Structures are given as structure tokens and as C-alpha cells.
Amino acid sequence: MTIICHGDSLTEGADVEKAYTWPSLLENMLKMPVVNRGIGGDTTGGMLSRFSFDVVQKAPRFVILLGGTNDVWWDLALNLIQANLFSMVCQAQHYNIAPVLALPLSIWVEKAQTQDCEPPAKGYAHFSGRLQALVKALTASAKEWEVALLDFYSPFFDDQGKIRTDYFSDDGLHASRNGHFRMSQAAAALFRDVFNCGMA
């Protein structure tokens, strides 16, 4: 059984060595093959366009879909993101691949605002709010589509609802080594609890 992780830089592992990315850590935790198909900067439209080659043709048992952050960065419509992800879910199910819909990370706004790069289309505050809306929409979609939901959003907050800054890299947008480890823990727990993977 193989898991393919299909996504953007949050999956590829921006600024983190391959061995410390959450897909690599998940492979070690579950003792089964996990393939990283994350491409930095990709949108759900890009993920959909390469879904056949990167996922369907490889015939994995599972696919984790983690996308939408870059769409929100460019202020694309949430229903477009949902439509692209729904198409990938349907294709996966058609080819007997179990889809897992993942919620994107939050953002450490204060840190992100200090970066010398082009900001989101309508600013960081708007971007953060749209991410929250996307998380809410995808949570509802997973229930409606009857697919497993992998929550990467909530773990990046503490019990008081404050951002776990140690889970973010220096850009405030991507996960640090600690963040990737926390993501791998969340993923491993879901695969053990829902799919009985990695059980002795």
C-alpha cells in the first residue's frame, strides 16, 4: 500500500530538508511507502491538471490532497477551490484510490508581514481571513463528500487559540521542522484510527 501526498509547498517542504518533511516522517511512522508530489507555488488547478500523471497512473491506495493556500493567496473563489478538489476526489474514488482531504495551515501574520516578497493579492489580513473561510468550507465539504478529513489547521494553534510560532519557518507561511513533525503526527493518527495503517 502506498500513500501519495499531492499538494503545493506545504507538502513539498519549503526550506526543510526532505527527511524532515511530513510525508517522509509519515513514511517512517507508518512503515509504508509515502510519495511526495508537492510542488511549490501550485494551485488546486495545477494539482488537478497533473492528477492523472502524478496520482492515478501510480495507482496508490491513498491520496492526501492538501491545496488551496496559493489559490487564496491570489484571491481566487472558494467554490473554484472546492470544485477542483472535488474533481480530484471523484477521480480518486473512480480508480479505487481512497482520498483524504487535508486542511491547510494557518499563517503567522506578524512574521509574514516582515518578509521582502510580494504580499497576497489583498493583503495578509484578508488572506488570513480567507484561509479561515476555506478551512470551514473544506470541513463541510469533507462531510458532504464522505471522505476522511486531515486537520493540519488546528494543531498550529495553542490551547488559547494563539499561533504556535515554533511550528512556522522564518517566512511565517510554511512549517518548520517542528511543524512538519506535528503534521506527520496528525496524519499518522488519522491513518491508524481510520484506515488501520501502521498497526502492529
Identify the residue whose cell numbers are 494543531: 155
Does 116 score more than 90 pLDDT? no
In the prediction, which pLDDT does 18 show?
A: 96
| pLDDT computed for residue 23 by the predictor | 98
SS (H, E, C) 31-58: CCCEEEEECCCCCHHHHHHCHHHHCHHH
Does the pLDDT value for residue 15 go beyond 60? yes
β-partners of residue 5 are 36, 64
Share of the chain above pLDDT 90, in %: 94
Q: Write down all domains in the chain, each with its CATH number in brackets.
A: 3-195 (3.40.50.1110)
pLDDT tens for residues 80-90?
999 999 999 99
Average pLDDT estimate for 161-177: 96
pLDDT of the residue at 200: 53
**Residue 198: pLDDT band by 50, 70, 90 thresholds?**
confident
User: Which secondary structure element, helix H or strand E, spans residue 64, and what is its range?
Assistant: strand 62-66
Q: Cβ-count burial of 58 within 10 angstroms (0-12 exposed, 13-18 middle, 19+ buried)?
A: middle
Average pLDDT over residues 67-80: 97
Residue of 104, 158, 25, 67 whose CA lies nearest to 166: 158
Mean pLDDT of the chain: 96
How far is the CA of 182 from the CAs of 21, 25, 51, 172, in angstroms?
A: 10, 10, 26, 16
Give 73-115 as a 3 state SS string: HCCCCHHHHHHHHHHHHHHHHHCCCEEEEEECCCCCHHHHCCC
Joined together, the cell numbers standing for residue 176 give 518548520
Q: Which of 72-76, 144-148, 195-199 has the lowest mean pLDDT?
A: 195-199
Q: Is the pLDDT of residue 199 over 90?
A: no
Strand-pairing partners, residue 175, are 168
Which pTM does this prediction carry? 0.97
Instruction: For residue 17, give every residue at least 6 positions away whose Cβ sits within 8 Å of its Cβ, in sequence order, or none.
Output: none
DSSP 152: -
User: Do residues 51 and 21 make contact, with C-beta atoms less than 8 angstroms apart?
Assistant: no
pLDDT computed for residue 14 by the predictor: 81
Distance (Å, whole) CA 134 – CA 2: 28
Mean pLDDT on 4-31: 96
For 171, phi and psi rounded to 5 degrees?
-85, -5
Pick from 25-39, 84-98, 112-126: least confident: 112-126
